[in-house]
Structure 1
Amino acid sequence: MVDTASWIADLKELEAADWPAYLNQRSGLPGPRANIELIATAARAADPDTIEELLADGGEYTTACAAAAIGYRAADAPYERRARELATDERWRVREAVTIGLQLLGDSDPQTLFSLVLTWADDDDPLVQRAAAVTICEPRLLCTAEAARLAIDVCRRTTDHLIALPPQDRKAPAARTLRKSLGYCWSVAVAADPGAGLPVFAALDVGDPDVAWIVTQNRRKKRLSKLLGNPG
């Protein structure tokens, strides 16, 4: 059972310098799954000094906590720039934590998040594009037609950017990471507003091998398979 209230109480009592040890002890690492719930809790609770302390620590989990906290504050331009940089970190948990923080921002300030993901979707770096798609393709954020259609638009834009890359660049790790994420993001976006999303999804050019892979992966997702009337 997640003990969020206890974590918050503990963190409020700690000095910034004591956060890394506390978080690392409860990180779930090394192990197959990091403590994502604690990352989200730390993101909400960390103040600017604590964020800097976590970054200075340099560990993967503490940096992820800082990345989530920075994403959560991305309504402020300096934090948005730092979040964008961390979205390209070589450590996948840090990249994922940025999206966790941005989603927390979207819970309280959806319009700011919508503007941000549209900008990020057109960034030159596929990892920033990937962060935009993963951030907005979160079911809890897609509770309005506006949000759902934005998710569809972000998926379309980032897919277009992927297939616009020269063939050799599509093989780069950043592009492959974007492709992998689009392999499920489309299903989330379409399921949130099938009327708007299905025609866009159906229009994807499966003559392109990467688009064909993305479409196949999404069609296998139960949320989309049901809409398409697929068995199973």
Structure 2
Amino acid sequence: MERLQKVIAKSGITSRRKAETMIENGLVEVNGKVVTELGTKVSNQDEVKVEGGVPIEKEKLIYFLFYKPRGVITSVGDDKDRKTVIDYFEEYPERIYPVGRLDYETSGLLIMTNDGDFTNLLLHPSSQINKEYVMKTAGIPSKENLQLFKKGIRSEGDLLKANYVKTLSVDPKKNTAIIKIVLHQGGKNRQIRRMFEAIGTPVLKLKREKFGFLTLDGLTAGGEHRELTPKEIAELKKLAK
């Protein structure tokens, strides 16, 4: 959901300030009804008309599966002038943003879009979409410690949980392990890294390999992306609900 004046401004008809004046003067309709309140929010499904019934042209909705490299900020901008995920989508005029976050040193699957309703649906606390990660740890965690993740580990006031965790391989000589972990929980900053720090085996490398049924198949680690198909978008919405 976005503020009505912002949606009008993004359509290119006028500036946001002039859009606010139009709303206050009763020159804007939403779904056939005149709206005069500036706090009104609309979705992509709402029909907006201005100045006697002229429909606005809404921004085209676009959806991408992106292979985020390490050393890239998951943000639309950075005050330290570091590379961000938006830098890989400069050819698109639409205002694209990431769905959720992967930290600076984490690589892997990230969804990019300009659909706010879709983003909110996927990130809602009730959404139970699996997010699968593979990592390399400094140290070999015990099976008992890994099982603690299913009950939850307290870190900085948060209860951090995993739905599935399994050791894929170990290297006793280098004292490292390769581990797969699956989360439903989202929105916790550096969640996996904090979980493994709590049991004394810090994460050396971390990669998100799956988001629901989506994988990175066909993309390289160099920042490639592809458009999601209509079927994939519909399936993600179904999973989130």
Q: Shared fold (TM-score greater than 0.5)?
A: no
TM-score, length of structure 2 as denominator length: 0.25
The structure showing larger relative contact order (alpha-carbon pairs under 8 Å, at least 6 residues apart) is: 2
Larger radius of gyration: 2
TM-score, length of structure 1 as denominator length: 0.25
